[in-house]
Amino acid sequence: MTCETTIAKNDKGLGTFEKYLTVWVLLCIAGGIFLGKVAPQFAKTLDGMAIYIGDAPVVSIPIAVCLFFMMYPIMVKIDFADVIKAGKSTKPVLLTLFINWAVKPFTMYAIALFFLGTAFYHLIGPEAVDIVKMPFGLDLPVGAHHGAGTVVIVDGIRMLEVPLWRSYLAGCILLGIAPCTAMVLVWGYLAKGNDGLTLVMVAVNSLTMLVLYGVLGGFLLGVGRLPVPWQALVLSISIYVALPLAAGYISRTFLVRLKGIDWFNEKFLHILTPMTITALLITLVLLFSFKGEVILANPLTILWIAIPLFIQTNLIFWLGYGLAKILKLRYRDAAPAAMIGASNHFEVAIATAAMLFGLSSGAALATVVGVLIEVPVMLLLVRICLRTERWFKSSE
């Protein structure tokens, strides 16, 4: 049974979790803020559950567990034998790789820098600061400067005090370099795209991400004066991408051999369907339980972060869609190629921000805002694709 058949069997397109993801996110925001008020030490205690090297918390155990269950259902769907088929449709694959890695990270940096560092600078507050984790491997005395930050002591641990807008910028950067989520398979299906090609592009981007996410992340965070050691980003990708990727490959291979591909597609994947979103929502409750006071004190914070993310998503979509038209792609290939670039792998971005800067950081909050706008914006782009199908060559 092919991927196309599997997806086609889902006659509703979006399941309950996916269809109302924005509603669940809003409920998690409210629930997290409430939890932060009634049990303020809860999220802080969970944030302290980490693997430490010296006094630096390198891996958040709760986030690592949640992200594994976010990522595993995505990775187990990938049939790596299908990656070979990408050679038959090189144009859309090359297009999405170009958009995702040569364009998207840099437009995200520029747009976020303009809005957060200039247009909204005084609205966020020139004196507003954020306390983030000391980068892994860095050993500086209190009062020392590192990038835009100053080393301070918080609860007996050395941390970095950085301008709040730069922390938001870091979160936007991590979103901008994290292309494609499992949801992209749903967007492609709803837009009547080529489901098989979409899966191949997801696989190619997942493999490319193992290499380029750390490289571009380290470079752009350094340019943004929030430098992070390369080994921290490599560790992040190893734990949050490579581990579930390996688990997905091994378990898929074993289960298909044991029970057959039909059972795997119709039974096993059906059981996993709500797992990704459930794990994501648990993570959001934790994030907002610690950021509740910041949001209540300045609820417009969400808006300041959402505006550049909204502009970036639409810019990348129209750029990819326009280039697909110039390349004379079929509509079935053009729609998913454009939407893969527009969407973000927010699960990885959230986890990386939490690991690098802390669960309570502005960077982590910015990645959560990415989740908040992802579903409604992508549903809008699906509608645009369906209304503009006639712009492209026939799919026949």
> pLDDT per residue over 247-271, tens digit each?
988 999 999 999 998 899 888 888 8
What band does 2 get if pLDDT is binned at 50, 70 and 90?
very low
As a whole number of angstroms, the distance between CA 362 and CA 331 comes to: 39
Residue 9, pLDDT above cutoff 60 = no
pLDDT averaged over the chain?
81
Judged on CB neighbours under 10 Å (0-12, 13-18, 19+), 387 is exposed
SS3 87: helix
Token pair 């979160």 is found at 171
Specify the pLDDT at position 189.
76
CA neighbor of 214 nearest in space, from 202, 226, 227, 232 = 232
Give the pLDDT band (50/70/90) at residue 202. confident
| pLDDT tier for residue 357 given thresholds of 50, 70 and 90 | confident
Task: Report phi then psi at 106, rounded to 5.
Answer: -80, -35
Mean pLDDT, residues 22-48? 78
At 67, is the pLDDT very low, low, confident or very high (cuts 50, 70, 90)?
confident
The CA distance from 53 to 172, in Å, is 27
What's the whole-number mean pLDDT along residues 91-119?
A: 94
**Cβ contacts of 160 within 8 Å, gap of 6 or more:** 131, 132, 133, 134, 135, 146, 149, 150, 151, 152
43 pLDDT higher than 90: no
Query: What b/e sequence results for 239-276 when a residue is b if at least 16 CB atoms lie within 10 Å of its CB, and e otherwise?
Result: bbbbbbbeebeeebeebbeeeeeeebbeebeeeebebb
- Residue 168 pLDDT class (50, 70, 90 cuts): very high
Q: Percent of the chain beyond pLDDT 70?
A: 82
Give burial (CB, 10 Å; 0-12/13-18/19+) of 299: exposed
Q: What is the pLDDT of residue 320?
A: 95
Q: Are 347 and 374 in contact (CB under 8 A)?
A: no
**Confidence grade of residue 381 (pLDDT, cut at 50, 70, 90):** very high
pLDDT at 54 over 60: no
More confident residue, 222 or 317: 317
Q: Give residue 178's pLDDT band: very low, low, confident or very high (50, 70, 90).
A: confident
Residue 18 has pLDDT above 50, yes or no: yes
Does the reported pTM lie above 0.85?
Answer: no
Helix (H/G/I), strand (E/B), else coil: 39 = coil
383 vs 365: CA distance, rounded Å: 29
Q: Give the integer Cα–Cα distance in Å for 52 and 215.
A: 23
Which pLDDT band, with edges at 50, 70 and 90, does 12 fall under? very low
Q: How far is CA 206 from CA 231, 242, 291, 347, in A?
A: 19, 9, 30, 13
Report the percent of the chain where pLDDT is more than 90: 26
- What lies within 8 Å, CB to CB, of 121 at 6+ separation is 165
pLDDT 10s digits, 140-167: 888 998 888 888 998 888 888 999 999 9
Give me the pLDDT at residue 11, please.
Answer: 38
Distance CA(73)–CA(248), nearest Å, equals: 7
Please report which residue ranges of the chain form alpha helices under DSSP H: 3-8, 16-19, 21-38, 40-48, 61-75, 90-98, 104-114, 121-124, 164-176, 183-190, 195-223, 230-237, 243-259, 261-263, 269-272, 275-297, 301-326, 331-342, 346-357, 362-387
User: So what's the pLDDT on residue 229?
Assistant: 57
Which of 202, 305, 187, 193 has the alpha carbon at shortest distance from 245?
202
| Better-scored residue on pLDDT, 298 or 334 | 334
Alpha carbon 266 to its chain's center = 27
